[in-house]
Amino acid sequence: MPFEAYKLYQEYEPDKYKTSTQKKAEGVLKEADEMKRAQGKETISGIEFQEARELLGEDLIGPEEIEKTWGVRPEDVPEIPFSREELERAKEMGQMLVLRVEKTEDGKPMSLEVMIDIIQKRWNKEGKGKLLYTDDEYKNWKERTGADFSQKAPRAGWTLVSRELLPQSTSKNYAQQTELMVAYLKDTVFKDMEIPEEYEEAFQEWEQAKQTDKNIQELLRNPDNPKYDWQQAAKELAELKITQLTRQSIQETIYDLALYYDKNGERLLPNVYTWSNSRSPEGELVDLGEFDAEGVDAGRWAPSRRVDDLGVLLSRRL
Amino acid sequence: MKAKGENAVIAHLDSLKVDPELREFSETTLAEYDERIKELASNPDVLKSYRDRFETLKGTLAKVLSFEHLQKELNAAESTEQKLRLFYEQYGRSPGPIERKKMEGLANRVAKIKEELKGFELDEATIDMLRRREIRGTQRDLAHYSFAETETRAELIREVLPDLMQGAPVLFQGETGSGKTQLAKYISQKYLSKEPAVISVSEQIKESQILGARGLEAGETIFKYSEFVKAQKEGRPVILDEVNLMPHEFAGILHDLLQKRVGDVWTHPTTGEQIPITAPIMATANLKSERYKQRYELDVATLRRFIGGAGAREIHYLDIGKKDKGGGYIAPETLKVLGAVLADRNGNIEWDEADAPKKQDELKRFVAACRKIQEDFTLSIREGGEETLARTDRLAFRELVITLKDQIEIMKAWKASGFREPLQEIILREFFRKAEISGRAAKDRENMVRVFIANKFFKDTKPEDFKIQGLAAQSLRQWQGKE
């Protein structure tokens, strides 16, 4: 019995020809899927999601994980805004894909308070340690960071988050970290790819700021002894588009760390800190990290500080 | 001879060295066959069985033809609709009522064909025949045009063809051996039904090769047109191979021609003859490494004229960059072409059932190795510097690559051996030993050996078998995992 030549490649053309039976079966599956969607039992079944799941494995944290950790099944799961190529590259760079939701099951904001309420009791039972590091309930944590515990929630949507600090991002001030982040995005993340419009704008804004903003210029040119208005600089740096697009807020850091640990049993940032885009009431920029059994620690620094265990995680959104 | 009697017949057969007994045997055997056919033909069950078989085949073929017809019509309608849309976008003009109606008609037709295709009853037998016909189509293309119109190439042709038919020029840029010139020839022969004039451009090209030159004929001075001009006069497409090497002093002539379209007239700069334009100019350019960029890059003014025509398109090796869901490299189009080379006219490859998995594995490893070489070569060309490559698992290829043509030749030789020889022997004989390589290119060949070894070939091959000057036995043993 000879070998049919088309068998060499037909596996790569699964959709080219289909028998009537296959078409019918697909139609039935599609209908069933739509019915599930309508009933709200299943909210995502797109091929992209399945592909992303196959590609990223444990580094995809989607609706199922959210339901398991936060007890909320998102009503409308947004489409993954990243291409397959971007996800492949993200995987190579050690990033995870996280779906963030901003509301709880009963419609409250997914605030720090709520996250602690939902998770801490269960973690205590399971012997998984604490979420936030504090010796006096959450008072110290609140005082140190000035974080909004009751209202502010993560920004909803799919985000690519690096599991480790950006290479060479420690011992750098906030502006130097931003400069490094821009270079990393241009040279590595978007290398040979089309740069999304919002990132193009963010890069332009950063270039503009470097040329016109005295505080930023001082932080970049004279990092050992910058003469600058630190509060003004912190505000400007935190509000930059690039900061908002690529750094986590306090709430987002906690959300991501909790989910990843809950799913994979691994605590990220075990002995380093990431500098967030959130500011304390006095104006410093908040950093979070050293996540161990006693919980995530947090601190705050003026933007000129350079600390050897303080770097930045890339948290890329679109 | 009949009149001369039996002896004459025997004498004749003797002279032909045909054994009369054999003749007798053949005749009796044939007579038996005739008898058998008569018997069978009078058996109504046999006749019915044959009739049913042919009716089924006829039915399947009819389905296949209707399906192919619909597919072709869909492609044509979609591409025309897209082209019209692009045209109006490009010139920022809204279509008028007649044009709108035309576009609406096309859109409706596209929707209708899609619906028809969706409801088309395809069964296993029809799909089998469709796939075999695809293989046969590729075989025909390879035999007639030395080119295979795979999906990506077909897509590209669909995009450029309407402009080419208007006489707009096109530029195909790509790595060496990616099939640019063959593509241009193919378009010309198959779609424009004209034999093209292929002009190999070099830095030394003379004006006479472009425009023509004065000469003497029967004592009279005449102007002899070049192949280039002759083709223009005869309405044949011109292929300017490696147009990036064209000296700048001819830019004026080239630019003038590249702006012409069907219906325009080109005035020959020397003779003043008015030559009506009826065919396009197609050009190719090799993508060169950063090192040679300055020297070989096409000037912007020329490039702009192509972009304003049917475009400056990049042609890469088949399947470059394609990956499966798990991120592994795949080469469906290459396998399709090579499958057609290996198959007979019915679309079958003469591998017996027991051997087929092993052979298939050999073939896929071969294609994977070639893919890797092409990927790394492409990257070397694009990125140039060695430092960049040193950071990854990629190998630097500076001059040599294994092209689809090389792969086809290897497959042909494998098939000719009746698949009895292991594929690696064929690769050695048809590729590595075909030319003894020395100098800078030897390093490329060494890297190719490494890639093949990584794909489980040449585990025990000796250094001298590769015919690569300077290939160290120790290095080879290391790659083979023996040291």
Q: How far is B446 from B473, CA to CA, in rounded Å?
A: 11
Q: Are residues B423 and B384 in the same domain?
A: yes
Q: Are residues B337 and B452 in the same domain?
A: yes
A6–B348: do the CB atoms touch at under 8 Å?
A: no
Q: Strand pairing of B212-217 and B220-225?
A: antiparallel
Q: How far is A182 from B169, CA to CA, in rounded Å?
A: 40
Task: Say if B364 falls within a structural domain.
Answer: yes
Number of A–B residue contacts, CB under 8 Å? 78
Residue A14 near chain B (CB below 8 Å): no
Residue A73: exposure state from Cβ atoms within 10 A (0-12, 13-18, ≥19): middle
pLDDT bucket at B332, cuts 50 / 70 / 90: very high
Please state the rounded mean pLDDT for residues A251-267.
93
**Which pLDDT does position A37 carry in this prediction?**
53
By the 8 A CB rule, do B190 and B154 touch?
no
> Is the confidence at residue A6, as pLDDT, over 70?
yes
* Nearest residue of chain A to residue B119 (CA atoms): A20
Exposure of A290 in the CB half-sphere (CA atoms within 13 A): 9
Q: Are residues B62 and B155 in the same domain?
A: no
Q: Are residues B237 and B376 in the same domain?
A: no
* Interface test mutation site (partner A, options B71, B348, B423, max chain A beta carbons within 10 A): B348
Q: Where is pLDDT greater, at B353 or B396?
A: B353
Name B211's Cβ contacts closer than 8 Å, sequence gap at least 6. Answer: B225, B226, B228, B229, B253, B268, B269, B270
Q: Kindly list the residues from chain A whose CB atom is less than 8 angstroms away from the CB atom of residue B330.
A: 12
Q: Are residues B277 and B402 in the same domain?
A: no
Task: Say if B76 falls within a structural domain.
Answer: yes
* Least confident residue range of A59-63, A246-250, B386-390, B454-458: B386-390
Q: Are residues B198 and B63 in the same domain?
A: no
DSSP-derived 3-state class of residue A241: helix
Task: Say if B4 falls within a structural domain.
Answer: no
DSSP-derived 3-state class of residue B456: coil
pLDDT bucket at B337, cuts 50 / 70 / 90: very high
Task: Say if B322 falls within a structural domain.
Answer: no
Q: Kindly list the residues from chain B whose CB atom is less than 8 angstroms away from the CB atom of residue A91.
A: 327
**Which pLDDT does position B387 carry in this prediction?**
40
DSSP-derived 3-state class of residue B311: strand
Task: Say if B2 falls within a structural domain.
Answer: no
* Nearest residue of chain B to residue A47 (CA atoms): B325
Per-residue pLDDT of B150-202, as tens digits, reads: 999 998 998 888 888 888 999 999 888 899 999 999 999 999 999 999 999 98
Q: Are residues B346 and B202 in the same domain?
A: no
Integer angstrom CA distances of residue A6 from A124, A130, B117, B263: 59, 58, 22, 45
Q: Are residues B155 and B282 in the same domain?
A: yes
Q: Helices (H), strands (E): how many in chain B?
A: 19, 10
Per-residue pLDDT of B343-366, as tens digits, reads: 999 999 999 888 898 999 999 999
pLDDT bucket at B289, cuts 50 / 70 / 90: low
pLDDT bucket at A136, cuts 50 / 70 / 90: low
B336–A8: do the CB atoms touch at under 8 Å?
A: yes
Residue A197 near chain B (CB below 8 Å): no
Task: Say if B440 falls within a structural domain.
Answer: yes
List B223's β-bridge partners, or say none.
B214
The residue among B253, B284, B315 that closes a domain is B315
Q: Helices (H), strands (E): how many in chain A?
A: 12, 9
**Which pLDDT does position B294 carry in this prediction?**
47
Interface of A with B in 236-275 (CB under 8 A): none
pLDDT bucket at A135, cuts 50 / 70 / 90: low
Task: Say if B388 falls within a structural domain.
Answer: yes
Integer angstrom CA distances of residue B304 from A156, B249, B282, B284: 45, 18, 14, 15
Q: Kindly list the residues from chain A whose CB atom is less than 8 angstroms away from the CB atom of residue B353.
A: 1, 3
Phi-psi region of A265 (alpha: psi -120 to 50; beta: other; left: phi over 0): left
Q: Are residues B425 and B383 in the same domain?
A: yes
Query: In the structure encoding, which two tokens stand for residue B89, read together?
Result: 């976008």
By the 8 A CB rule, do A240 and A205 touch?
yes
Exposure of A219 in the CB half-sphere (CA atoms within 13 A): 30
Q: How far is B375 from B392, CA to CA, in rounded Å?
A: 13
A5–B349: do the CB atoms touch at under 8 Å?
A: yes
Q: How far is A285 from B226, CA to CA, in rounded Å?
A: 74
**Which pLDDT does position B351 carry in this prediction?**
92
Q: How far is B40 from B47, CA to CA, in rounded Å?
A: 8
How near does any CA of chain B get to the CA of A134, in Å? 43
Residue A26 near chain B (CB below 8 Å): no
- Cβ atoms within 10 Å of B195's Cβ, excluding its own: 13
Q: Are residues B311 and B168 in the same domain?
A: yes
Of all residues in chain A, the percent with pLDDT exceeding 70 is 92
Q: How far is A175 from A301, CA to CA, in rounded Å?
A: 13
Which of A208, A211, A214 has its CA nearest to residue A240? A208
How near does any CA of chain A get to the CA of B127, in Å? 7
DSSP 8-class letter at A138: B
Q: In b/e form, how buried is each residue of A153-189, taking b as 16+ CB within 10 angstroms? A: bbebebbbbbbbbbeebbebbbbbbbbbbbebbeeeb
pLDDT bucket at A36, cuts 50 / 70 / 90: low
Q: Where is pLDDT greater, at A2 or A38?
A: A2
Q: How far is B396 from B380, CA to CA, in rounded Å?
A: 6
- Count structural domains, chain B: 3
B131–A6: do the CB atoms touch at under 8 Å?
A: yes
pLDDT bucket at B32, cuts 50 / 70 / 90: confident
**Domain with B286 in it:** 151-315
Task: Say if B231 falls within a structural domain.
Answer: yes
What sign for the dihedral angle of Cα A131, A136, A137, A143? Answer: negative
Q: CATH number for the domain including B261?
A: 3.40.50.300
A4–B131: do the CB atoms touch at under 8 Å?
A: yes
By the 8 A CB rule, do A128 and A261 touch?
yes
How near does any CA of chain A get to the CA of B324, in Å? 8
How near does any CA of chain A get to the CA of B401, in Å? 23
* Interface test mutation site (partner A, options B114, B314, B335, B346, max chain A beta carbons within 10 A): B335
Q: How far is A172 from A307, CA to CA, in rounded Å?
A: 7
Which of B70, B83, B158 has its CA nearest to residue B109? B70
Residue A279 near chain B (CB below 8 Å): no
Q: Are residues B350 and B457 in the same domain?
A: yes
Q: Are residues B309 and B379 in the same domain?
A: no
Of all residues in chain B, the percent with pLDDT exceeding 90 is 37
**Which pLDDT does position B117 carry in this prediction?**
87
Residue A5 near chain B (CB below 8 Å): yes
DSSP 8-class letter at A91: H
Q: How far is B183 from B169, CA to CA, in rounded Å?
A: 14
